[in-house]
Structure 1
């Protein structure tokens, strides 16, 4: 049996993630109190019913703080019952969460007459820290649309074979902030910038003219080969340690040219090596 625990900050997209897993064949339970998790998994594993081979539960910060802090203790016996368990943690920047609650006019579950929204978000982060620590996959939805989030959940969780490492290469622009969900961040701002060439400025790293420009530079190719060598060496080490997800972020100034080009090339290389690879260009429409 495979169990996916979907958790994270209110307004970050937990419901979207859970509904996407339901579409992928998971039996889903929303807003499960933490103290019921051991009893649920024990009962479902005892039944040996194929209906419950894939389970996804959503847990939020409304459970008592004492229960939230015992997560690691609750998860430990699951391996003994041969239950494959993954914690997926969704989050977003505070100003994005505040904007989403303002637009939807929803009430944050931890707000009250004495606790405004900003303080509720801060409290929620603190309460859910044990889940973030245990998370196999951390997804920052600050710059993610609903459609993109559905695609990420489908490709990285729903369609991933058991124990297969999911490798995401993501380009981004430093001027828009560094992705908080990345395991490795490569800064490629030292490379020649197509932005300063008038004919290349409106293009992206996916366009042939930009690719030819960057491929003609030895420094670009040298950095690409060094990143590939590093990842080829260390990815097996992460796999042997039980990691199921790895996110590699490549950043340039605006996230349009250099980072997009290298992200595409890295993804192509590891895809040809037989890896489960996804790509995302955060700053491209």
Structure 2
């Protein structure tokens, strides 16, 4: 199994477990910059050199040796489940991807046919009933996670606790888990804990958002997308995420955490 989704700086200053839709582009670029004094030219997910990634075969023994011996500071970043699943919908389902095509080829046509989802058209300014379509997408996301039908769950909407647990189960442990909603504070706590070849000044770092600008803009406040049934579905899918990472299930309008993350609890509950 190893450590899928794990990135490490070439200097081995820090190890990061990627959680999709949780500032991973910005974090990856900060790691790249901390080693090389410059940003990767392009989307950091496309880099094949300059940053160790589990997906690169030659990086695997280095990451495995480091993580199992806990040689470097290890961290990850989480996000409110309500805003994360909404972001996945607008980016992956409604948006046109970097290659100019729809995400995962036949996925969107299948959703239109089986779930009655509309995604809009860039030519007409993405006009469609966002709330109705999003709630139907939620049913699909639940079906993939609960029954693995009509497909396996996608990394962009599978639970954060699932991503984070593989690192623990296979022998890693986290020194820090912080919130996207308090990004500068959390990322600074990582930078303060490690020595890096190049100093990173967070207030000068741009936000790298791979999903921005290629899909419809969210037309309503977050809470408008979630009625009672939608909230029930979200809780069914992300119960552990709400509990472990201290987010407010009762109020979709409140994206901020309501308590501190207990790392011991995370390791105990996700290490089974």
State if a TM-score over 0.5 links the two structures. no
Q: TM-score, normalised by structure 1?
A: 0.26
Q: Which one scores higher on RCO, CA 8 angstroms, separation ≥ 6? A: 2
Larger radius of gyration: 1
User: Which structure shows the bigger proportion of residues in strand conformation?
Assistant: 1
Q: TM-score, normalised by structure 2?
A: 0.27
